[in-house]
Chains A and B, each alone.
Chain A
């Protein structure tokens, strides 16, 4: 006997992702899923953006890492609640992991949750975590020819932060070419050029993010 099923396996993840989104919305918490390759600058971005964001908002970070708590240790003492997820080799965070991590947070005492995903420029693209905003931090040291090679990560991002721009000349990167290729596959995304080690270069991004959070909390 043949049974037609025709179910996308990701409905299992997406259902929990939607539950997470509703749960966070119930507490007016804005969630940001930060993705990138390893070493692209996610933790440095958080270290420096928190200096601005934490002046106005109560923040938590869900920190994804394969085996260690090194990034969480860097973010300790930054006035943000921290929950560590070790995936033990898993290449991405999924919605169930975020649901479990949220159980460890006081959701009544938060405005924002940053989720620092596992460093990987492929797999996190397929997993909705229930976030409001998906951010891709792209390090230009990886080249200006990668958007079409790693298409799902680039075309599913709401925001792309082109990082380490201070190295553009040394790495012979054409930033305009990079942006043009991103625009070809994701015309709607917001793009910022940043140097995450330099907080001054984050002002435009921080201000824009502040506006998004403000609008969300009013809705």
Chain B
């Protein structure tokens, strides 16, 4: 259930990142890569359940979600791919 909170944080970080880059205003997000680091406490299926609800009707809707295992601690927003 903590995935609900983590999905909210990730959603906010992605939007803040895009908002801070003026040339990306209005662009849709094509792909988001997350880093899932030790101790792997985020269940991807549960995270996506909450994240998919948050992105409905936003520029993030329809983005491909990918996950990389990381040796770092925690769950990261690693990279965002935005349409040209």
Interface residues of B (CB under 8 A from A): 1-2, 4-6, 9-10, 12-14, 17-18, 21, 24, 35, 39, 41, 72, 74-84
Contact = CB atoms under 8 A, between A and B. Distances in A.
Contacts, number: 80
5 contacts: A1-B24, A2-B79, A3-B80, A3-B81, A12-B12
Contacts of B35: 6
A151 B39 contact: yes
B1 A9 contact: no
Main secondary structure of the interface of A (DSSP, over half): mixed
A7 interface: yes
Given A7-B77, A9-B13, A123 B84 contact: no
B78 A5 contact: yes
B25 to A, nearest CB: 13
A190 B66 CA distance: 41
B20 to A, nearest CB: 10
B36 to A, nearest CB: 11
Contacts of A10: 6, 9, 74-75
Contacts of A8: 72, 74-76
Interface stretch (A21-29, A71-79, A85-93, A191-199): A85-93
A90 B5 contact: yes
Contacts of B1: 89-91, 123
Query: Which of B6, B9, B83: most chain A Cβ within 10 A?
Result: B9
A13 interface: yes
